[in-house]
Structure 1
Amino acid sequence: MLTQPLTDLSAWTAHFRQAPIPVLEATLEELALLAQAEEEHGNVDAHRVSEAVGDDPLMTLRLLVQAAQQRHARQITDAETVTAAVMMMGIAPFFRSCTELAAVEPLLAAHPQAWAGLQHVLRRSHRAAQFAIGFAVHRMEDDAAVMRQAALLHDFAEMLLWCHAPALAAEIAARQRADPALRSEAVQREVLNVSLLELEQSLMRAWHLPELLIRLTDDRAEGVALIYPQMRLVKLAVQLARHTEQGWNNAALPDDLSEIADLLNLSQAATKRLLHDIDDIDA
């Protein structure tokens, strides 16, 4: 566990490239059942694997990283989704690779605050993914699955920080609780010497993840996001999930509502109803 910040972006990138990506115990249990079904009946395909691991952002990240590492030069397209990654790897090699998986829960057993912090980020990521797929379906986007996945993975650097540097992650959270007006990026730079967004982008490029996924998760490209609706969609889904963590009374929500209404070509009233439907909350 890191207890002191590393010096710069290069050092952080090198560290996390070598650090293991743990996954949720529930994911390991699902994969064990699928591996048994494949061994006994040979009836497991990439879609069944995707259904089992698609809600675990850490397993999703690990699988995409592994697929990128195994990608052959002659392959024209990247594996942009879990399904595509498993199909590229093959069912049998995929299950063999799962024997090396480590679970998050034992890793953080002695760090209950870190486990609580990680769960908080996971809940937010799940809601962001839910909003993203809802927006994408409404817009009839061809890459809806990739946009959902981009929203799910958007905060993976924060997840890895809770796993491997819980004291530093807790320090950031404590400072933001003490002063909610503090900008996240400023606090991260004070504590880590780097922002989590730039670390995330650096890691994705170092791992050679698909370019579309890198682009969809880059919040820094403000002007570009206005031009490309897919980037705007993911950004707004993540933003809405953050602003509604504590309920639907955040002062930023009217601006979010206006932007989402414009994206979806709906009235604000219709947009509000849709958002609550997506979030499974009565308006």
Structure 2
Amino acid sequence: MNAPQTGIDSWTEFLIDKEVPVLRHTVHAMDEARLRLERINVREIADIALHDPMMTVRVLRFSAAHRGRRQLQDISTVEHAVMMLGVEPFFQHFSQFDVIEDHLRPHPHAMLGLLHVIRRAQRAARYALDWATWRCDLNSEEVAIAALLHDLAEMLVWCFAPERALRMQALQKAEPTLRSVDAQQAVLGFPLNELQALVCAKWELPELLLTLMDDASCEKPRVKNVKLAVDLARHSAHGWDDPALPDDFRAIASLMNIDEDTLRNRLGLKSEDQAEQGGDDA
């Protein structure tokens, strides 16, 4: 895994031709689904892909590369991509996979780091989908996919440059107040969001998804939906006592136009009143 030493352009070229591996669970699910080829529907196939950010980006990347000349709009959801390709051709193309667990077997600590980011992305996607549905978003799957892929570049670095990812992780462990972007700058020479924008543009991923993943556009409600879901998943990754969470709760409640106790209940948490009563009982 000879990653470039410096330069965001070199890193972009290094990543864009990579065959993105997928989770072993995804391979097993695809094999099982292939056995039901005559009975399986597009939604079921999309659900398999959407459980795995790496599979999701593979589908969208393939769809973008094979879009027809008459296709005026980008395909921004997995379900639409499968529908346009057709079930049988989908399984014909997506029949062979590199497996993440095999790919990173020589780097077990990097495997754990990548799985942590993937689980965080899965949680962010669930939050984003729930809130978008609550807000009557006309296409909530787009919002969920944007949250799922928000930290795609971080996943790619864990996959294809595990030593660099481990160095960034070590920097932040040694200095817990160090911001992620500063660790990225120190190890790579650039922030990962800039690398991600370049890689996604080279892969011609849908412009709408790139906008939804762009935190700089968070004055737009759909982008804010994505950002807050990603923030909540990140801040709660190690428990619900992170000092950033109260600000997250306020912002999410405002976005959804509900009070914070209702939000906490939706998240499966005790309301502040319940927490105080529990403390008094103790």
TM-score, shorter chain, exceeding 0.5: yes
Residue 7 of structure 1 is matched in structure 2 by 6
TM-fit CA distance, 1:238? 0.1
Unaligned stretches of 5+ residues in structure 2:
276-282
1:77 matched residue in structure 2: 73
In 2, the alpha carbon distance for the partners of 1:217 and 1:69 equals: 20
Q: TM-score, normalised by structure 2?
A: 0.92
Contact 1:5–1:193 (CA<8 Å) still a contact in 2? no
Aligned to 1:259: 251
Relative contact order higher in (CA < 8 Å, ≥ 6 apart): 1
Distance 1:270 1:48, change over 3 A: closer
Distance 1:26 1:248 in 2: 28
Contact 2:185 2:191 in 1 (8 A): yes
Give the length in aligned residue pairs.
271
- 1: CA distance, partners of 2:136 / 2:79: 20
The reply to whether residue 45 of structure 1 matches residue 41 of structure 2 is yes
86-95 or 200-209, which deviates more = 86-95
Select 1:87's aligned residue among 80, 83, 88. Answer: 83
Assess if the C-alpha contact under 8 Å between 1:5 and 1:168 holds in 2: no
| Aligned counterpart, 1:22 | 21
Give the SS at the match of 1:230.
helix
CA distance in 1, matches of 2:236, 2:87: 39
Q: CA deviation at 1:240?
A: 0.7
Name the CA distance, whole Å, in 2 between partners of 1:75 and 1:99.
26
Q: Which residue does the alignment assign to 1:31?
A: 30
Gaps of 5+ in 1: none
Q: Is the 8 A contact 2:4 2:10 kept in 1?
A: no
Q: AA paired with 1:249?
A: D
Maintained 8 Å contact 1:46/1:86: yes
Is 1:101 the counterpart of 2:97 in the alignment? Answer: yes
2:36 and 2:258 mapped to 1: Cα distance? Answer: 45
1:171 matched to 2:163? The reply is no
- Whole-angstrom distance in 2 between the partners of 1:212 and 1:67: 15
Aligned partners of 1:244 and 1:250 also within 8 Å: yes
Q: Secondary structure at the match of 2:36?
A: helix
Is structure 2 residue 66 aligned with structure 1 residue 65? no
- Structure 1 CA distance, aligned partners of 2:231 and 2:67? 33
Q: Say if 2:142 is the partner of 1:143.
A: no
- RMSD over aligned CA atoms reads 1.6
| Mapped partners of 2:175, 2:268: distance in 1 | 29
Shift, 1:100, TM fit: 3.2
Q: Which amino acid aligns with 1:91?
A: V
Does the 8 A contact of 1:5 with 1:191 survive in 2?
A: no
Residue 92 of structure 1: CA displacement? 2.2
Alignment match of 2:241 (pick from 246, 249, 258): 249
Structure 2 letter corresponding to 1:119: L
Distance in 1, Cα, partners of 2:22 & 2:212: 23
Deviations along 1:142-181, one digit per CA (max 9) or x if unpaired, are 1211111111111111111111110100000110111111
Distance 1:95 1:141 in 2: 30
Deviation, 1:128, is 0.6
Q: What is the Cα deviation at residue 6 of structure 1?
A: 3.6
SS at match of 1:100: coil
> What is the CA distance between 1:256 and its match in structure 2?
0.9
